Amino acid sequence: MTQKSDRQLGMGRAISRRDFVQGSSVALAAALAPRLDAANPGTAGGVAGAQAPAYYPPTRTGMRGSHPGSYEVAHALARQGAQFDDATDTGEHYDLVIVGAGISGLAAAHYYRQRFGDDARILLLDNHDDFGGHAKRNEFHQGGSMVLALGGTHNLEWWQFSETVQDFMATYGVDIEAMRQKMEFNYGEDAPNSPAMWFDESSYGVNRLIPRCHLSHQLTPETIDQIPISEAGRESLKTFYARQDNLFAGLGKADVEALLAEISYPDFLRQYGGLTEDAVQLFHNMEHGSWGIETRALSAGEALWDGNPGIHLLGEPWPDEERNYPVAMWPDGNASLVRLMVAGLIPKVAPDATPDNIALARFNYEHLDQTGHSVRLRLNATVVNAENTETGVAMTYVEDGQLKRVTARHGVLACYHSVIPHLCPTLSDRQREALQYQVKIPLLLTNVLIRNTQALDKLGIDAVNFPGRLHGRFFLFRGISTGGYQHAMENDGPVSLVFWGSISPPEDAIDLKSQLRGSRQKLLQLTFEDFEREVRTVLDGLLGPAGFDVNEDILAITVNRWPHGYSYEYMDLWDPDFAEGEAPHEIARRPFGAMTIANSDAGASAYTHVAIDQAWRAISELPDARVPDA
Ligand SMILES: Cc1cc2nc3c(=O)[nH]c(=O)nc-3n(C[C@H](O)[C@H](O)[C@H](O)COP(=O)(O)OP(=O)(O)OC[C@H]3O[C@@H](n4cnc5c(N)ncnc54)[C@H](O)[C@@H]3O)c2cc1C
């Protein structure tokens, strides 16, 4: 095996990659500083204040998403039971304080104004250095031009929108039809040899790229012959892909569905598909992007519904190979939606922003949190306590290493369910348990800015799955010209290659929640260098033969890690059927005094439109009138 050295992989090269010093122990010490010394101004991770004139986080590269400095305070609270006493009262009093400035928190601000008037005074608090929650944008600046990329939330599944969400989008000028027309991007499925599979030397003994090879398409014997697993494994695949069967012909539809809901997809492939173990392993990270979990956590029914192969064993024809996923997208994912919302709520931040220029509009972060604005958005502020008071609510948060307190008539918790019991220790046991039922799904999105697409074009590929690697897949991110940004498919300059998926949990993590927690722990333990080495190894092995030089052709790397990614959705193998109104998310989101709960967790569904619907519900559940100040 020819394992390359760090030097050969170009690890020492000067690329745009670091803003923060790695090292969670240093950061954690800083996070705990308020307890030790409330006057200590040091912030975990050394983030500059959002008021600094040059403050513009989308251009930061290196470790983003859950970036150093964003999570240490919450972890100290939730994992180590840190006490945060003696907060300084800022003297600020609002109509509403919202915890979390993701899509749901921002939508909650919108609906609050709709319900209580545009003059309502609102404060949003968020632990990150940028707004948007998962909907973040990565900007790369090269040779005077900007390349946009998504840092988290990708797209709009508009066909699932409720009327509430349709109205919301119309208010912000989001025209799905027009967006669709300005998109050629199809998740890298359109190049002549895409999608392809790549097998790497350290996992499979050989570096091999197999064009037009996707496990969900009907593979030919010639394609299967190239897959570097055992002879028996290849034979089992050939038989599986050639079969046309109706295994459960004697059973009714409901019985078949029940059977498929009780067996894991890998077991289905073993027992009914006749695949050998090494053939089954090819499928293990196929769903890292779509579901964020291993296929072993999916039932056969869920996997087949999502297009994984097998329905040809149930009397159905092979599905059409053309993947039509007709989403609407901006060139920074749903970060442009967030920008539209921020510009609407705090016009001074981006006075010239319109739906037509939103991807390019200049945002001045100095104006996010200014006295005199009815809506204020405070970044780098982690809430550690939310309590009901006689006149409303009080929120305690850590900002710049200092413990501060604000009050309001109303509160909306638009943060993760699992953190809420730590913020609100007086919640009932039932509600706390329900909130903690939801364990978020870790996700990973690493943007690698490459000099050009020549090597990919030469190979005729723009999306590749790699079952042996840390990220399960990459796709080229080009061909989206919405929000004023232009990036044609044939663009021959720098472009982002998106390494996408989740992290495989340890093998001994059996139940789903152990898998999610194991995956999260691994994700947080990996350093930027680990990701950089991984990306360089993959690009060297995969694209090197087509002329890609990892020493010269990688211009920047931004790792967007999301240890708390998708909301938990109920799964066939792991969750019972809950009676209406009794599902954990329904119990979890019940109003609590003058506080209500938003976030996509509250809908147990990981979508932007769900985050908006939940914000609407949370605002409508707030106690009625604008009660007078005490
Ligand atoms: C990588 C990735 C890709 C995705 N792709 C899609 C997609 O294509 N389409 C789609 O519809 N959905 C997608 N999603 C799902 C996404 O979660 C939702 O669409 C939506 O962005 C969720 O918004 P939210 O406001 O509910 O939650 P979040 O975005 O999680 O926002 C909550 C905010 O609250 C903050 N917070 C938490 N605790 C505290 C605290 N104690 N103090 C202060 N702030 C706190 C969080 O850090 C966060 O900033 C994706 C998610 C990820 C991670």
Q: What is the pLDDT of residues 395-423, one digit of tens each?
A: 999 999 999 999 999 999 999 999 999 99
Q: Specify if 546 maps to a domain.
A: no
**In the prediction, which pLDDT does 491 show?**
80
d(CA 272, CA 184): 39
What is residue 19's predicted lDDT score, i.e. its pLDDT?
Answer: 34
Q: What's the 629 CA to ligand 1 centre distance in angstroms?
A: 33
| Cα distances (angstroms) measured from residue 58 to each of 151, 188, 294, 487, 559 | 9, 24, 31, 18, 13
Residue 272: the pLDDT is 98
Q: What's the CA-to-centroid distance between 134 and ligand 1, angstroms?
A: 4
Per-residue model confidence (pLDDT) at position 146: 94
Q: Mark the ranges of the chain whose per-residue pLDDT is less than 70.
A: 1-2, 16-53, 322-323, 625-630
The span from the CA of 364 to the CA of 523, in Å, is 32
Say what the pLDDT of residue 47 is. 29
At 345, which helix (H) or strand (E)? helix 335-345
Of 561, 442, 408, the residue nearest 512 (C-alpha):
442
In a domain, 245, yes or no: yes
Nearest atom in ligand 1 to the alpha carbon of residue 397 is: 42
Answer whether residue 454 is part of any domain: no
Q: Is 566 helix (H, G, I), strand (E, B) or coil?
A: strand
pTM for the full predicted model: 0.94
Distance CA 401, CA 587 (A): 34
Structure tokens belonging to residue 507: 């093998």
Question: Would residue 233 count as lying in a domain?
Answer: yes
For 302, the domain range is 218-313
Q: How many domains does the chain have?
A: 1
Tell me how far the alpha carbon of residue 135 lies from the centroid of ligand 1, in angstroms. Answer: 7
Q: Which residue has the tokens 């050295």?
A: 5
240 located within any domain? yes
Which residues neighbour 94 within 8 Å (Cβ) at sequence distance 6 or greater? 121, 122, 123, 406, 407, 408, 409
**Residue 274 resides in a domain:** yes
> What is the Å distance from ligand 1's center to 601 Cα?
9
User: Are the CB atoms for 323 and 188 separated by under 8 Å?
Assistant: no
Q: Is residue 294 part of a domain?
A: yes
List helix spans (H) across 119-243: 163-171, 176-181, 201-204, 221-225, 231-242
142 Cβ neighbours under 8 A, 6+ residues apart: 449, 493, 494, 555, 556
Domain-located, residue 237: yes
The Cα 76–Cα 78 span in angstroms is: 6
Q: For position 625, what pLDDT does the model report?
A: 60
Cβ < 6 A, ligand 1 pocket: 74, 99-100, 102-105, 125-128, 133-135, 152-155, 157, 382-383, 414-416, 419, 443, 445, 562, 565-566, 599-600, 606-608, 611
